[in-house]
Amino acid sequence: MDYLVEFIITIPDDAPPAEIEQRLAGETTRVAELASQGHVLRVWKPLPEDGPQRALGLYHATSHEEMEAILDSLPLRPWMEISVTALAEHPNDPAVGGMSAGNGPKLDALPDPELRHVYRLDAELGAPADLGDTPQGHRRIIPLIRGHAAGPYFDAEMLPAGAADWQTVRASGSSVADIRYTLETAAGALLYVQSQGVRHGDPDVLARLAAGEDVDPSEYTFRTSVTMETADPNLAWVNDGVFIAVGGRRPSGVSYDVYLVA
């Protein structure tokens, strides 16, 4: 069942700044976790802004009891005034009602995916180990020797041990990426990241990249799928997340913007 939830947040005047910062950061992390679990579908900020901190959310839960438990799990819950409205399908809703053009039953509309930025990784590259042409293709191992990830959910340093792109270069000049690295957040959490994808483009653009030129990322396509693993309970939502990344190559490094597909 879906629920429309209205939030009014009132931060106590005597709340310590450290507690405010902790609760706000925890709220961001918890909402992302609930989104990855399919409980938070949308969040809006009502207009006009009239002073109070207000929000509207579209939530999904299997029961009223589960909905209450979800709301109680929010770090800002003690400072929230909440109004919950249960929603039911309407016969005039074009997304779920009526018949298809072929007079068959119309499937319920599937939700459109959204992208939520998780972090930007800027990494410095070391000298590649060029294995040459193997039965699988032209193999290169490019070490990532240092890097920093920053985003709305965490800041982290990339651990250099074992961080590299086990790359295969195709005859066309396109490269197949097999990137693996570990991030350590400021709180000490470790995240193991694996990223596979392809960098491709016009041959002359790829030749300029291979020559070490600084080529604008808009001139080629560098996309990867990403998986993350962690044992940290505060970031456990990444274990179930589906992620993609947009990459850009620089003469001495590489950058990745990683997004959660919600």
- The CATH code of the domain that includes 119 is 2.40.160.20
131 and 184 inside one domain: yes
Quick one: 74 and 150 in the same domain? no
Residues 240 and 167 in one domain: yes
User: Which pLDDT tens digits describe the chain residue by residue (262 residues)?
Assistant: 899 999 999 999 999 999 999 999 889 999 988 988 889 999 998 888 877 889 999 999 988 999 999 999 999 999 999 999 999 888 887 766 544 444 455 556 788 889 999 999 999 999 999 999 988 889 999 999 999 999 999 999 999 888 999 999 988 889 999 999 999 999 999 999 999 999 999 999 988 988 888 899 999 999 999 999 999 999 999 999 999 999 998 888 999 999 999 8
Q: 82 and 136: one domain?
A: no
Q: What pTM, to 2 d.p., does this model score?
A: 0.61
pLDDT score at 101:
46
Specify the pLDDT at position 120.
96
Q: Are residues 257 and 137 in the same domain?
A: yes
Q: Which residues contact 143 (CB under 8 A, 6 or more apart)?
A: 125, 126, 127, 128, 160, 163, 164
Domain that holds residue 193: 115-261
What is the tally of structural domains in the chain?
2
The answer as to whether 94 is a domain residue is no
**255, part of any domain:** yes
What pLDDT, on the 0 to 100 scale, is given for residue 195? Answer: 96
Residue 97's pLDDT is: 56
CATH number at residue 73: 3.30.70.1060
